[in-house]
Chain A
Amino acid sequence: MSLDSVVIVGAGHGGVQVAISLRQEGFGGRIVLVNDEPGLPYQRPPLSKAYLLGKINATAMLFRPETFYADQRIELVHDRVAAIDRQNRRVMLDSGSALDFGHLVLATGAHNRPLNVPGSTLGGIFGIKTKADADFLSPLVKQARNVVVIGAGFIGLEFAAVAAAEGAAVEVLELGDRPMARAVSPQMSELFRAAHEGWGVKFNFRTGLAELEGEGGKVSAVTTSNGRRLPAELVVFGIGVIPNVQLALEAGLDIDNGIRVNSSLLTSDPHISALGDVAAFPCVQNGENLTRLESVQNAVDQGKLIAARLVGKPAPYTALPWFWTDQGNLKLQIAGLSIGADNYVTLGDAAAQQLSVLCFRGEELIAVESCNRPGDHVFARKILARPPALTPATAAAPDFDLKAWEAANRP
């Protein structure tokens, strides 16, 4: 019997992509997109940068206008899924109603890892995950004089750049010894450290958060793990996320740092797929190890793959991961995964804030990080997606140019 209905839980990049791609692939059955946030589905990346700075409005963040969903017969349901009844292929909603599914797609994303020190529930303390968070934060960041950012990852640093641009004194607490240590090479960390310090941001490395102090219910100061006390009217934290696996867990699906899926992005139930931030998949670029990636590209490409499978065009997931972050005048684009990199070759000039770092594991090129060298990024994506491989010795030659090499080495 052919598939008659797909229910998608979660309306971020992954969930919306499945719905759009299903229709593009010619799927004629029922599509229901269950969204636990108010309003139309929107894109999250601008929340910590362009939207917060007021460069773009809420409409510009929407994936599609309301008419699109009606025209494409994509039913938007504002509700929360309370439980999955795998036996009867049905999801139960908080409102008390239920939805039958032929296939279920879990695109439930992740939530911010919360602070767990005394004072965490004071006002003026924010993670950035939803439009509501950004809407609360936007006027405050314009007023705040003293801002403390917990965590020097992408989100924390994107926000630090915004707060510094708005004129606040910004202190960043980071347990590691450099910015974005989990994501980028030491060379790229150094460029971003210098740039942020140039904007007035102060870093406190190897420093945790001990306590948040308040006055009248609002945060007023931060005490660090090494005893420093920093004034703060506004605290923003970005200390990682936790995948939203609860529904899948309660339904008895395999969980392993996320909802475990196979190379087709199917869960341990053949009638249920999972994708995006919540899914742990065997990643080709990570030695087939179960990997969970938090990125737009991952959600979008996995959404397209699931939609194609559901209309009878199955394929293993092999897409090259890529990422970006915008901080001040810096655009960092990353192609590939640098896990296990032990050898780096740089192109460009860090002092001029134009740098690409080619990350090798032994002789194998595994990732390219490009700051304000978008051309390198585009070529890196091509080079990483297919043979022949670029070696460190070739890349380290004087006047080496990615574009010329790619042109000379097309299969």
Chain B
Amino acid sequence: MPTITFIEHNGTRHEVHADVGQSAMQAATFAGVPGIPGDCGGACACASCHAYVDDAWAGRFAPAEGTEYDMLENVVERQPTSRLTCQLVVGADMDGLTLRLPAAQF
């Protein structure tokens, strides 16, 4: 069971046990991490699960594309490592992944 660390904008860390096949957004909401509302339930419709992939992991994911890419273009405080976490599927090799949350969602 991979452990993912979510770091809120204020520095609060949340170490979350995620299931392989779950989205990172769902792992966060299931664990009650504040700052990831995930309002649309993972339909890539609301842009409320934005996070920055830690630099050490940035090259490990296929780049955002399609709807996710277009939504991300328009979120506040976009960075090159921005992702919508509902589109990041947790793999067995993601133990130790760190995701940082923006100051405000959407």
Contact = CB atoms under 8 A, between A and B. Distances in A.
Do A and B make up one complex?
A: yes
Interface in B12-33: 22, 26, 29-32
A369 interface: no
A68 interface: yes
A65 B27 CA distance: 10
Nearest to A20: B32
The 4 A-B residue pairs with the shortest CB-CB distance in the complex, in nearest-first order: A378-B74, A324-B45, A375-B70, A374-B70
B11 to A, nearest CB: 18
Nearest to A68: B32
A324 B40 contact: yes
Nearest to B71: A374
Nearest to A372: B67
A296 B67 contact: no
Interface in B67-98: 67, 70-71, 73-75
A24 B26 CA distance: 18
Contact of B45 (A24, A62, A64, A331): A331
Given A61-B41, A71-B32, A296-B41, 5 more contacts: A43-B41, A60-B22, A297-B46, A374-B70, A382-B74
A20 B34 CA distance: 10
Contacts of B67: 331, 372, 374
B69 to A, nearest CB: 9
Given A43-B41, A45-B43, A378-B106, A403 B73 contact: yes
Contacts of B71: 374-375, 377-378
A110 B71 CA distance: 31
24 contacts: A20-B32, A24-B34, A43-B41, A46-B43, A50-B43, A56-B42, A60-B42, A61-B41, A62-B30, A63-B29, A65-B30, A72-B32, A296-B40, A297-B39, A331-B44, A374-B67, A374-B70, A374-B71, A374-B74, A375-B70, A375-B73, A378-B73, A382-B74, A403-B73
Interface residues of B, number: 24
Chain A interface SS verdict (over half): helix
Given A72-B32, A324-B45, A333-B45, A296 B39 contact: yes
B47 interface: yes
Contacts of A296: 39-41
Nearest to A297: B39
A60 B38 CA distance: 13
Interface in A57-86: 60-65, 68, 71-72
B3 to A, nearest CB: 16
A331 B42 CA distance: 13
Contacts of A61: 41
